[in-house]
Structure 1
Amino acid sequence: MSNPIRCYVAAPARSAAALAAAVAALLAAGFLVTSATFVPSSASVDDLLAAADDDLAAVACADLVVTLPGSGDLWEPAMAEAFGVPVVALAEALSEV
């Protein structure tokens, strides 16, 4: 790819292994990848709000949002659509390379 595609990966929290595999595959294909910010359960409200702001900005700036199974109820795909950012499944993103 001449200009790397910026993608945000949306995955349920219980899918850490699938998320890691998806990120690895996307990076290997030349994508620039980001995903939700990890915030420990002991985080302050301010830390949680800052992480939410960062994640929302990452979705808004992405060229596409890549979804993994089970991410249909997450906020990221809905916000991506509101921002006009395409939402695609992992297989579709990798097939476009």
Structure 2
Amino acid sequence: MTPEAIAVVIPAHNEEALLPPALAAVTAAAGHPALADLRVMTVVAADACVDETAKVADTAGASVLLRTPDCPVETSSRLRPRAVGGFGDHLAQLAAEEGAMH
């Protein structure tokens, strides 16, 4: 039987500097014993970024959803729930700047 999964979605727009601490926070939280029976997947929704946000996320092992500048916001907003829905049974959202808080 496949274990339940939780997808942690981090919406990001030009967040290459703030993303590493956010991804580290998710990784640390995913290692908590209470989550031992869950698959924890990190998804970065890179929103028309012109920096290295997507590359930073990919290098850290996160799945990346890209919205390019030519994709209307209405279209990406409509598609995002369906795209993310394939990642897990549960969904959590974290802003990149939240992971950088001390």
Between structures 1 and 2, the one with greater helix share: 1
Question: More relative contact order in 1 or in 2 (CA 8 Å, sep 6+)?
Answer: 2
Higher-strand-fraction structure: 2
Give the TM-score, by structure 2 length: 0.39
Q: TM-score, normalised by structure 1?
A: 0.40
